[in-house]
């Protein structure tokens, strides 16, 4: 069964009476949001969609953790400029660019744009607003009453030891504005006493201020392993998946579960522990600024293909994406296969239909279009003076419809981007207007092979596939190995050893040009 259906079935089995669900996901915008976070959005987004389709009322929220302290500096920002802000809530750090409320808004916005690009419309909420509204006030009281129990859970689950004076809350220092450096020492039921510690954390230096302040309405902030279960409890979250790193034994999810169940006495949301989305085998880090930002992958491919990339793999398997070389053309090919299955149902694989369905942005408007192979479009784009629309209509065998043209324009757009940024030398070629010097080194057998092709071209007009078969036939009759034979064609036209599929290539080029060039070589 397709994994989205599997999860839905399981949820409906676990909560048979329930007709309202709150689905939640979150991100701390400590820098450009990396591609890994896209996986969570897609998983929560399609589960929300699937449950809605089962007639359930769904509230899907995406929370931006802008109350979190700045605890690292991305490599693309100036350390001198940001040093003084380390330890402050992200919402109080200035935006790197003008026109944004603050640092958190700036980096969140880029990611929110990607969420919308993929066709998901969660309700976007900012943590600091919930703190300010007082949503967590009663939970602040609650955790400050149980510091020892929470400390014990940390120790039992993860082995991490907190000092006896530790309290599960930070407050924003009234003197320096930092939250990552404050140690709450006492609580009298109304106000907390705290010290802004110079040496508490590696990444920020507290100012040493000793103060007493009310922790409510945005002044206090939970450490995140306490904040997580408090959010589940306060917002009454029903479904919330999280990445593999949080779900290790003794990890943050286990601590949060224990606090939620045993201290807050609230149910733990249905978890979907999903695997990483890696780029070329590497895990990304927003705070260090490593790897590819989500915005960049959204510029590599259209939203349906990006959703497809996330959806076709079971949530418990790693997705490792290498943008260079043939990855993107192959991804399009696989997408075309599931599309064909969806519209024509030839393989009888029901999962493929579901994968295609959930890859679409608008399930109410799914249109069958002619889908020319991506690699073919990339190839056509490299041939001068070629009318791509005409060529694609020829491939289709009938004029292109309005919908076909939408598909074609999209593929042309992304094939251009691919050629510019991700295609390797092997996949790129330039027709040599001048006679390529390298072609002089061809053997007499290779030259004979080119002459035979000239005869073939002069004989009659053949379409790509037919021409390709005829060239293969010629090769078999010659003493040449396939590699040597095709090398002759590429050297003569491109000045390099390899190139696109020969039949299509020769058909797409101007016939007289090819004949003239092959004769020149001989
Ligand atoms: Zn301070």
Q: How far is ligand 1, taken at its centre, from the CA of residue 192, in Å? A: 15
pLDDT higher than 80, residue 290: no
* Phi-psi group of 337: left, alpha or beta (phi > 0 → left; psi -120 to 50 → alpha; rest → beta): alpha
Note the Cα 185 to chain centre separation in Å.
Answer: 42
pLDDT band (50, 70, 90) for residue 334 = very high
Q: Is residue 286 part of a domain?
A: no
Q: How remote is the CA of residue 49 from the centroid of ligand 1, in Å? A: 45
Distance 229 CA to ligand 1 centre (A): 27
Question: Is the separation of the CB atoms in 484 and 474 below 8 Å?
Answer: no
**Distance from Cα 180 to the centre of ligand 1, integer Å:** 9
Say if residue 212 is in the same domain as residue 244: no
How far is Cα 355 from Cα 3, in angstroms, rounded to an integer?
A: 9
Distance (Å) from CA 102 to ligand 1 centroid:
20
Residue 57 sits in the same domain as residue 119: yes
- Residue where one domain finishes, among candidates 259, 278, 297: 278
The answer on 183 and 44 residing in a single domain is no
Mean pLDDT within 477-505: 91
**In-domain check, residue 36:** yes
What's the gap in Å between 71 CA and the centre of ligand 1? 15
| 212 C-alpha to ligand 1 centroid (Å) | 12
Q: What's the per-residue H, E or C state across 374-429? A: HHHHHHHHCCCCCCHHHHHHHHHCCCCCHHHHHHHHHHHHHHHHHHHHCCCHHHCC
Which residue, among 185, 407, 192, has the nearest Cα to 302 in the 3D structure?
407
Tell me: do 7 and 72 sit in the same domain. Answer: yes
CA 79–ligand 1 middle distance (angstroms)? 20
Number of separate domains in the chain? 3
The CATH number that applies at residue 99 is 3.40.50.620
Taking alpha carbons only, the member of 295, 353, 283, 354 closest to residue 321 is 283
Based on the domain organization, do 88 and 171 belong to the same domain? no
Expressed in angstroms and rounded, the spacing between residue 210 Cα and the centre of ligand 1 is: 8
Phi/psi at 11 (5° precision): -65, -45
Q: What is the pLDDT of residue 293?
A: 87
**Helical (H) or strand (E) element with 351:** helix 350-359
Tell me the C-alpha distance between 84 and 390, whole Å.
61
Indicate if the pLDDT at residue 286 is higher than 70. Answer: no
What does the pLDDT read at residue 430? Answer: 86
Closest CA to 218 of 304, 128, 89, 348: 128
From the list 372, 490, 488, 506, the residue with the least C-alpha distance to 430 is 490
Q: What percent of the chain has pLDDT over 70?
A: 98
Is 246 part of a structural domain of the chain?
A: yes
178 CA distance to ligand 1 centroid (A)? 6
Asked whether residue 386 is assigned to any structural domain, the reply reads no
Record the tokens describing residue 299, joined without a space.
């510029």
Rounded to an integer, what distance in angstroms lies between the CA atom of residue 192 and that of residue 214?
6
User: Which of 221, 246, 268 marks a domain boundary?
Assistant: 221
Residue 166 forms part of a structural domain: yes
Query: Does residue 31 surpass a pLDDT of 80?
Result: yes
Task: Flag whether 273 is in a domain.
Answer: yes
209 Cα: distance to centroid of ligand 1 (angstroms): 5
176 and 53 belong to one structural domain:
no
115 and 210 fall within a common domain: no
Distance 32 CA to ligand 1 centre (A): 27
CA–centroid distance, residue 127 to ligand 1 (Å): 22
| Ligand 1 centroid from CA 91, angstroms | 17
- In this structure, the answer to whether residues 51 and 177 fall within a common structural domain is no
Tokens of 241: 């998946």
Q: Tens digit of pLDDT for each residue in 62-77?
A: 999 999 999 999 989 9
Question: Does residue 497 lie within any of the structural domains?
Answer: yes
pLDDT at residue 288 greater than cutoff 60 = no
Q: How far is the CA of 230 from the centre of ligand 1 (A)?
A: 26
Task: Tell me the three state secondary structure of residue 489.
Answer: helix
Dist. CA 160 → ligand 1 center (Å): 25
d(CA 484, CA 478) in angstroms, rounded, equals 11
pLDDT tens column, 180-207 = 999 999 999 999 999 999 999 999 999 9
Question: Helix, strand or coil for residue 251?
Answer: coil
Domain of residue 468, CATH code = 1.10.10.350
Residue 124 host element (H or E): strand 123-126
DSSP 290: B
pLDDT tens-digit profile of 456-489? 999 988 877 888 899 999 999 999 999 999 999 9
Ligand 1 centroid – CA 401 distance (Å) = 65
- CA contacts within 13 A on the Cβ side of 396: 18
Cα 76 to middle of ligand 1, angstroms? 27
Residue 207 C-alpha to ligand 1 middle, in angstroms?
4
Q: Judging by beta carbons within 10 Å of its beta carbon (0-12, 13-18, 19+), is residue 397 exposed, middle or buried?
A: exposed
pLDDT score for 148 = 95
Q: Is the pLDDT of residue 306 over 60?
A: yes
**pLDDT-based confidence at 392, cuts 50/70/90?**
very high
Whether 234 and 193 map to the same domain: the answer is no
What is the pTM for the complete model shown? Answer: 0.90
Distance 187 CA to ligand 1 centre (A): 18
Whether residue 233 is contained in a domain is answered as yes
For residue 214, pLDDT over 90 is answered with yes
The number of C-alpha atoms within 13 Å of 269 and in the hemisphere containing its C-beta is 26
Mean pLDDT, rounded, of the chain: 93
Q: Looking at the predicted structure, is the pLDDT value of residue 343 above 60? A: yes
Main-chain phi, psi angles of 228, to 5 degrees: -55, -55
Question: Residue 259 has what DSSP assignment?
Answer: I
The rounded Å distance from CA 450 to ligand 1 centre is 79
Between the CA of 165 and the centroid of ligand 1 the distance, in Å, is 19
At 283, the pLDDT band (50, 70, 90 cuts) reads: low
Report the separation in Å between the CA atom of 206 and the middle of ligand 1, taken as the mean of its atom positions: 5
Distance 182 CA to ligand 1 centre (A): 7
Does residue 106 sit in the same domain as residue 171?
A: no
| Token reading at 18 | 């329930």
Cα 101 to ligand 1 centre (Å)? 23
> CA separation (Å) from 244 to 249, 250, 259, 289, 437?
10, 12, 20, 20, 55
Cα of 200 to ligand 1 centre, how many Å?
A: 12
- Residue 190 CA to ligand 1 centre (angstroms): 21
pLDDT in tens, 230-258: 999 999 999 999 999 899 999 999 999 99
Residues 36 and 72: beta-carbon distance below 8 Å? no
Q: How far is the CA of 113 from the centre of ligand 1 (A)?
A: 35
User: From the CA of 77, how far away is ligand 1's center (Å)?
Assistant: 23
In three-state secondary structure terms, 320 is: strand
Helix axes 137-145, 224-235, angle to 10 degrees: 130
Q: Which of 206, 221, 236 is the last residue of a domain?
A: 221
pLDDT of residue 499: 85
Cα–ligand 1 centroid distance for 208 (angstroms): 6
CA 198–ligand 1 middle distance (angstroms): 8
User: What would the two tokens of residue 400 be?
Assistant: 């292109």
Distance 256 CA to ligand 1 centre (A): 28
Q: Rounded to whole angstroms, how far apart are CA atoms 164 and 71?
A: 24
115 and 229 in a single domain? The answer is yes
One domain for residues 181 and 42? no
Q: Are 79 and 73 in contact (CB under 8 A)?
A: yes
Dump strand ranges (E) for 153-287. Answer: 170-171, 182-187, 192-196, 210-213, 220-221, 242-243, 273-274, 277-279
Range of the domain at 81: 3-136+225-278
pLDDT of amino acid 127? 98
Asked if 217 contacts 134 with a C-beta cutoff of 8 angstroms, the reply is yes
Asked whether 173 and 211 are in contact (CB, 8 A), the reply is yes
Q: How far is the CA of 173 from the centre of ligand 1 (A)?
A: 5
């Amino acid at each position: 069964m397709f994994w989205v259906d599997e999860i839905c079935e399981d949820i409906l089995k676990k909560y048979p009476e329930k007709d309202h669900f709150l689905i939640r996901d979150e991100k701390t915008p400590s820098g450009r949001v990396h591609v890994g976070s896209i996986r969570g959005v897609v998983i929560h987004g399609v589960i929300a969609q699937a449950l809605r389709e089962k007639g359930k009322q769904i509230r899907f929220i995406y929370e931006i953790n802008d109350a979190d302290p700045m605890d690292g500096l991305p490599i693309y920002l100036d350390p001198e400029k940001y040093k003084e802000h380390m330890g402050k809530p992200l919402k109080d750090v200035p935006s790197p660019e003008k026109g944004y409320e603050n640092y958190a808004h700036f980096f969140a916005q880029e990611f929110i744009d990607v969420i919308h690009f993929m066709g998901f419309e969660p309700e976007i909420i900012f943590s600091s607003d919930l703190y300010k509204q007082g949503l967590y006030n009663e939970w602040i009281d609650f955790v400050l009453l149980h510091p020892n129990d929470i400390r014990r859970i940390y120790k039992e689950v993860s082995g991490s030891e907190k000092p006896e004076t530790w309290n599960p809350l930070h407050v924003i220092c009234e003197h320096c504005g930092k939250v990552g450096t404050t140690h709450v020492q006492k609580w009298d039921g109304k106000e907390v006493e705290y010290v802004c510690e110079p040496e508490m954390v590696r990444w920020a230096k507290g100012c040493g201020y000793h103060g007493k302040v009310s922790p409510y309405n945005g002044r206090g902030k939970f450490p995140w392993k306490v904040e997580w279960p408090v959010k589940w409890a306060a917002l009454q979250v029903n479904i919330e998946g999280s990445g593999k790193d949080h779900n290790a034994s003794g990890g943050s999810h286990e601590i949060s579960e224990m606090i939620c169940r045993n201290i807050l006495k609230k149910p733990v949301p249905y978890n979907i522990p999903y695997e990483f989305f890696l780029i070329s085998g590497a895990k990304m880090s927003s705070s260090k600024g490593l790897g590819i930002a989500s915005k960049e992958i959204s510029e590599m491919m259209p939203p349906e293909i990006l959703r497809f990339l996330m959806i076709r793999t079971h949530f418990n398997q790693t997705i490792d994406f290498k943008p260079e070389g043939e990855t993107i053309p192959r991804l399009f090919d696989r997408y075309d296969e599931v599309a064909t299955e969806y519209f024509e149902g030839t393989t009888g694989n029901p999962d493929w239909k579901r994968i295609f369905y959930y890859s679409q942005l608008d399930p109410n408007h799914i249109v069958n279009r002619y889908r020319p192979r991506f690699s073919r479009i990339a190839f056509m784009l490299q041939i001068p003076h070629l009318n791509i629309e005409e060529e694609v209509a020829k491939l289709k065998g009938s004029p292109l419809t309005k919908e076909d043209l939408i598909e074609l324009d999209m593929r042309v757009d992304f094939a251009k981007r691919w050629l510019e940024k991700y295609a390797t030398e092997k996949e790129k070629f330039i027709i040599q207007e001048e006679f390529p010097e390298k072609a002089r080194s061809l053997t007499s057998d290779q030259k004979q092979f080119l002459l035979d092709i000239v005869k073939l071209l002069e004989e009659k007009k053949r379409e790509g596939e037919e021409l390709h078969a005829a060239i293969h036939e010629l090769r078999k009759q010659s003493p040449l190995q396939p590699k040597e034979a095709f090398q002759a064609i590429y050297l003569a036209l491109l000045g390099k050893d390899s190139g696109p599929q020969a039949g299509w290539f020769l058909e797409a080029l101007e016939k007289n040009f090819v004949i003239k060039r092959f004769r020149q070589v001989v």
